[in-house]
A and B are shown apart, each in its own frame.
Chain A
Amino acid sequence: MEAVGRCVTAAAARSRVTTGGMQAAGRWWLAATLLLAPAPARAVDLWTSSHGGAEAGGDVKTFLVGVRPRPHPLLPSEPSGRAALDLRLKLSAHVGEWLRVSLHPNLVATAGAGGGLGGLAASARVGDPPEGVSLSRNLLESSAVRVRLRLDRAAVTLHLPHVDLTAGRQPVSFGATFFFTPMDIVAPFTPLVVDREYKPGVDALRGDVYIGTSTTVTAVAAYAGGWDLEGLVFAARAGTTLGVFDVGFFAAEARAEQVLGVDVAGELLGTAVRAEATVTVPVDREKSFLRGALGLDRRFESGLTLMGELYVQTFGAASADRYLEQARDPRYARGEAWALGRYYAAVSAGYELLPVLNTAVAVIANLGDPSLAVGPSLTWSVSDEAVVVAGLYTPVGAPPDREPTGDPARPVRLRSEFGTMPQSAFLQMKAYF
């Protein structure tokens, strides 16, 4: 089952704990949350003068993710669970307006099995990007608990007239769409990541040139797993505003593949429009493929917000029985891609029940299978500095065949993407200081 990489069957197997283990993870999460609840929420000015300053802030997050596989003779039968405590310290210092240093050490403790829940189950946070300079350390690793320290940011930014230069570990984001992000090739989120408000940094050199109000040229060289061409990403984007639309052109040499793209964001007939598309030319120059996403957003007088996206990736598997082979593509192991099929749609409806209580339902559909994942969630803003989020993902779609294929390379025949996915539920508490 390990061969299927990020396929949910293997992911669930890696993270399997017993029902008792799930309860233990829940108790662990509760204890961590209660310990954190009275924590003071204050950022600290470490140094302030007319020449600059330094300050410390951060956040503490606890996650509890429970996974219940669909009843199936070939899938894990036991529910699994994982609890995580995520403590991030945000240190920053600046000299005048021209120099800024950021340092974000992140301590993550997880209870449960060592691997991530990854794949098609909800996961607490995006996986750590590869490090060109090792700034992480496992402080404790056992079958039950893992404690890891990582520097999520370690960057120096030089602000010059019309130019920003940043060196070090930093977040890198490209693109205009939200659910499907073909242009975000460095370290993208997947739609099933619970915590998408913070992006772990990648080791990179970056330059931004600004012309006028909104014309920008960005160039990034980022470490993506190696110091040769196949382990680096060189990307550039030039963007400007044309009328009410922001338009960008993108080019990259990513892991020795060439990528060209375009993105657009604006408004048409009272509806927000976002779109991005890339064409990738692989190393062997054969089978170039297109990834494209078109999103429309609309907010109604009632307070209801609807967001929808359509997505196509021509390198995806044409049918469900090809998903296991598709999952072996290194793009999945690198976290560069997550969807196995070709045609997708996503819709999110958000509504403010109270100013401090928001509800949302997200539906992500594979249009080829067809199958979908339905994800309702509730966000409660407990105070200025604390938020609790609860939600779940429920699959709808044909489960895998019940009979094994007898083929070691393809031990099970999948019939839909999200139909393979387990049910997962999450509870998250976030506190900021």
Chain B
Amino acid sequence: MRTGVVAVLLLCTAGARAQDVTVEELMRAQDDALRGASSTGTMTMRVKTARWERSLTMQSWSEGTEKTLVRILAPAKEKGTATLKVEGNIWNYLPKVDRTIKVPGSMMGGSWMGSHFTNDDLVREARYSEDFTCAFVEKPDGKTRDHWVIDCTPRPNAPVVWGRVRLAIRAVDKLADRIDYLDEKGARVRTLVFSEFTTLGGRKLARMMRMVPADKPDEFTEVHQDDLAFDVKLPADTFTLQALKK
């Protein structure tokens, strides 16, 4: 999920140039925003439910969607715990016992760190342009409608657990500000809302995203991008077990 958070935030920086784009171009542009881009940043995640609240601060380094290193900065209980993802391999480092643990993808299901994101969000690398069939539901008309609304249905055998994904993309800057995740019966399961659009790391993006489960609308998980830099030159050993343990 941590890499998923990074990926989703990067996704929100996508911006197609042309006004009259096809759905394929729009979705490919969003996918391409992830490819090859290196970034580093700090983010804070806040989980709120009716009975409790938690927060987590993380530092991340990424290169495209294939390589990510995330280190927890706070709370103190988790501080120093780090996750390295390189292509299909994931390792966790537990500094208190000096142990590097290989984490198989099959163990990554369920909620991540008690949040409304799942570990599946972290490890899946679905691409809209390859793993979904997308179609416009609405287009901006320059008057009352100021979003593209796009429905994306997973292709057979795509690594996607949703029945359908609906994106609302702002006409003003081609940034998604809402993604609804629906089950196979078409019922909304959760909604990801983006806000605080600003320029960060030289790109316009949503600084905040909030995941709200449909069955518990009073609960949410927010991820706030504290700082972010793109196209940074990362040391060659950034995505190695040596860096994981630093």
Which residues of chain A have a CB within 8 Å of any CB of chain B?
41, 43, 57-59, 97, 159, 161-162, 164, 170-173, 176, 196-199, 208, 210, 212-214, 216, 241, 244, 246, 265-267, 270-273, 297-301, 303, 305, 352, 354-356, 381, 383-385, 387, 430, 432-433
Contacts and interface: CB of A to CB of B under 8 A. Distances in A.
Contact of A198 (B88, B97, B104, B245): B97
Contact of B242 (A41, A164, A299): A164
B76 to A, nearest CB: 4
Contact of B106 (A210, A299, A381, A432): A299
Contacts of A161: 237
B109 A210 contact: no
A3 to B, nearest CB: 33
A202 to B, nearest CB: 11
B199 interface: no
B64 to A, nearest CB: 15
Given A214-B89, A244-B88, A355 B111 contact: yes
A267 B237 contact: no
A383 B76 CA distance: 11
Top 8 closest A-B pairs, CB basis?
A355-B114, A267-B104, A171-B98, A432-B76, A384-B75, A210-B242, A265-B102, A272-B104
A271 B99 contact: no
22 contacts: A41-B75, A159-B242, A170-B98, A173-B97, A199-B96, A208-B245, A210-B241, A213-B240, A213-B241, A216-B241, A270-B106, A271-B106, A299-B107, A301-B109, A352-B110, A354-B51, A355-B54, A355-B111, A355-B115, A384-B74, A430-B77, A432-B75
A162 B86 contact: no
Contacts of B55: 384
Interface string B51-89: 110111000000000000000001111010000001011
Nearest to B94: A197
Contacts of A173: 97-99
Contacts of B94: 197
Nearest to A210: B242
A142 to B, nearest CB: 31
A20 to B, nearest CB: 36
A59 B96 CA distance: 12
Contacts of B56: 384
Contact of A97 (B96, B97, B246): B246
A58 B104 CA distance: 31
A214 B86 contact: yes
Contacts of B54: 355-356, 381, 383-384
Contacts of B110: 299, 303, 352
B77 A385 contact: yes
B89 A162 contact: no
Which of the four size classes fits the interface of chain B? 35 or more
Contacts of B245: 164, 208
A164 B242 CA distance: 8
Contacts of B77: 59, 384-385, 387, 430, 432
B52 to A, nearest CB: 5
Contacts of A244: 88-89, 104
Contacts of A433: 76
B194 to A, nearest CB: 23
A394 to B, nearest CB: 27
B239 interface: yes
B239 A213 contact: yes
Given A199-B98, A244-B88, A381-B114, A43 B106 contact: no
B104 A266 contact: yes
B22 interface: no
A161 B236 CA distance: 10
Nearest to B97: A199
Given A172-B98, A214-B91, A267-B105, A43 B86 contact: no
B233 to A, nearest CB: 15
Nearest to A102: B95
A306 to B, nearest CB: 11
B115 to A, nearest CB: 8
B47 interface: yes
A385 B246 CA distance: 23
Nearest to A268: B104
A161 B243 CA distance: 11
Given A299-B106, A381-B54, 18 more contacts: A43-B76, A59-B76, A59-B77, A159-B246, A170-B98, A173-B98, A208-B245, A241-B89, A265-B101, A267-B106, A270-B106, A299-B107, A299-B108, A355-B54, A384-B74, A384-B77, A432-B79, A433-B76
B162 to A, nearest CB: 14
A246 B239 CA distance: 16
B75 A266 contact: no
A171 B241 contact: no
A383 B89 CA distance: 31
Contacts of A214: 86, 89, 91, 240-241
B107 A272 contact: yes
B76 A210 contact: no
Nearest to A301: B109
Contacts of A216: 241
A176 to B, nearest CB: 7
A378 to B, nearest CB: 16
